[in-house]
Structure 1
């Protein structure tokens, strides 16, 4: 199934389109999306550790702006957002 990942904050550096698209197995979860993004970062950015930290510390949300856990089951053609932690001073 196809899933689109909207990139917010520091995660926008992952793609020029502010969006990633992956094919996932049916019954995939947000945890599977984290793994898929890290695989993508390993290939595209030579395993950039800072980018991986962003993925591992980010929250994910649905199109309705609901924060979801790693156990959230993804549906076909669903759009999920990755929301990195915000730092400021």
Structure 2
């Protein structure tokens, strides 16, 4: 199944289109998506550790704009957002 990942904040650096499209198996969870994005960063950005930290500390939201946990199951062709933490100074 195809899942679109909307990129917000610092995650927008992952792709020029502010969106990633992933092909995932059935019964995929947010944890699986998190791992798939880390694999993408490993391949495209030579394992950029800062990007991995962003992915691991980010929240994810459903199409209904609800924050979802790592065990949230994705439905077919669902759009998910990745929301990195916002730092200030």
TM-score between the two structures when normalised by the length of structure 2: 0.99
Q: Deviations over 1:39-89 (max 9, x none)?
A: 000000000000000000000001111000000000110000000000012
1:50 is matched with 50
Alignment length (residue pairs): 89
2:59 is matched with 59
Compute the RMSD of aligned alpha carbons.
0.4
1:29 aligns with 2:29: yes
2:7 is matched with 7
Q: Which runs of 5+ in 1 are unaligned?
A: none
TM-score between the two structures when normalised by the length of structure 1: 0.99
Following superposition, which runs of at least 4 residues in structure 1 exceed 4 angstroms of deviation? Answer: none
